[in-house]
């Protein structure tokens, strides 16, 4: 498999600015180490107007659009920090699929709660003969079915995976690649005050939580203030 041009794409709106600034060095270092291009997006207003869709959808649309210039585009959320930059893009992708994501933090193949959905906080799209089919399906379902869905692009991609013939274009990876969530998020009020996530009766435990061998740590489900506190106190060595 010959990969010529790879882009690492990240970003966030003004609300995410301080979190993004803390996680940027790890992403820039990763891109430089492997010879990948690196782009940071701090405004999505133009694209949101053009497509008449919310920010979550726009992130995915931008990834597809950059495939006009690149063979592979990896989107990394503003609240994700790379903690193991030894992974090359070839360790995520293969010849058989064009979309790559990891199981969501509370899901896995053998989950006793029977959940199998994947997260699109961090994901990869590879250009091949099927990429345009996936993009067209994404746009169609985004506008006609999921335009107001709070899970935005994640709801669309999971729907396509579960309900269409395009399922075979997806590769769903172990958490350690693109979906690792550290247990330290439980210190943040958003988690403490969420009965499904915290406490002895929690029904959504973190499956395969982050460790230092994982590619990244995703500080999902936290306030930005909480994310900043976790980054400074728990991930200082990666800043």
CATH number of the domain that residue 219 is part of: 3.90.550.10
Residue 1 lies in a domain: no
Closest CA to 173 of 126, 109, 110, 83: 109
Residue 113 lies in a domain: yes
* Cα angle 123-140-131, degrees, rounded to a multiple of 5: 45
Question: How many residues does the structure list for the chain?
Answer: 239
User: Can you tell me the distance from the alpha carbon of 85 to that of 34, in angstroms, rounded to the nearest whole number?
Assistant: 9
Residue 80 lies in a domain: yes
Per the DSSP assignment, residues forming a β-bridge with 88 are none
Residue 43 lies in a domain: yes
Question: DSSP letter string over 116-137?
Answer: --EEEEEEEEE-STTHHHHHHH
> What single-letter DSSP state applies at residue 89?
G
Question: What is the domain extent for residue 149?
Answer: 6-238
Model pLDDT for residues 13-34, shown as the tens digit of each residue: 888 999 999 999 999 999 999 9
Q: Name the least confident of 78-82, 187-191, 203-207.
A: 203-207
Closest CA to 182 of 112, 88, 84: 84
Check pLDDT > 90 for residue 148.
Answer: no
User: Can you tell me the distance from the alpha carbon of 103 to that of 129, in angstroms, rounded to the nearest whole number?
Assistant: 25
- What integer pLDDT is reported at residue 196 of this predicted model? 73
Q: Where do the H-state alpha helices sit in the chain?
A: 17-34, 45-51, 55-66, 131-144, 152-163, 175-178, 189-192, 224-234
Structural domain tally of the chain? Answer: 1
Q: What's the whole-model pTM score? A: 0.94
Say what percent of the chain tops pLDDT 90.
79
Give Cβ neighbours of residue 70 (< 8 Å, ≥ 6 apart). 5, 6, 7, 37, 127
Q: Which tokens belong to 116?
A: 């199998």
Model pLDDT for residues 190-212, shown as the tens digit of each residue: 888 877 776 666 667 888 999 99
Check pLDDT > 50 for residue 114.
Answer: no
């Amino acid at each position: 498999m010959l990969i010529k041009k790879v882009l690492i794409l990240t970003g966030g709106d003004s609300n995410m600015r301080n979190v993004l600034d803390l996680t940027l060095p790890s992403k820039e270092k990763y891109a430089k180490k492997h010879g990948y291009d690196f782009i940071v997006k701090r405004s999505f207003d133009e694209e949101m107007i053009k497509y008449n869709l919310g920010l979550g959808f726009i992130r995915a649309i931008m990834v597809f659009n950059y495939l006009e210039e690149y063979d592979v585009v990896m989107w990394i959320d503003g609240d994700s920090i790379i903690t193991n930059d030894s992974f090359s893009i070839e360790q995520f992708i293969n010849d058989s699929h064009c979309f790559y994501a990891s199981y969501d933090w509370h899901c896995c193949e053998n989950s006793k709660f029977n959940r199998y959905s994947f997260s699109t906080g961090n994901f990869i799209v590879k250009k091949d003969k099927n990429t345009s089919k996936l993009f067209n399906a994404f746009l169609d379902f985004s506008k006609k079915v999921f335009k107001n869905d709070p899970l935005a692009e994640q709801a669309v991609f999971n729907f396509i995976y579960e309900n269409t013939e395009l399922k075979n274009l997806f590769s769903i990876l172990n958490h350690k690649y693109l979906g690792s969530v550290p247990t330290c998020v439980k210190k943040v009020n958003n988690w403490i005050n969420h009965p499904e996530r915290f406490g002895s009766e929690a029904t959504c435990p973190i499956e395969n939580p982050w460790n230092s061998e994982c590619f990244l740590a995703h500080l999902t489900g936290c306030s930005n203030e909480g994310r900043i506190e976790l980054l400074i106190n728990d991930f200082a060595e990666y800043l």
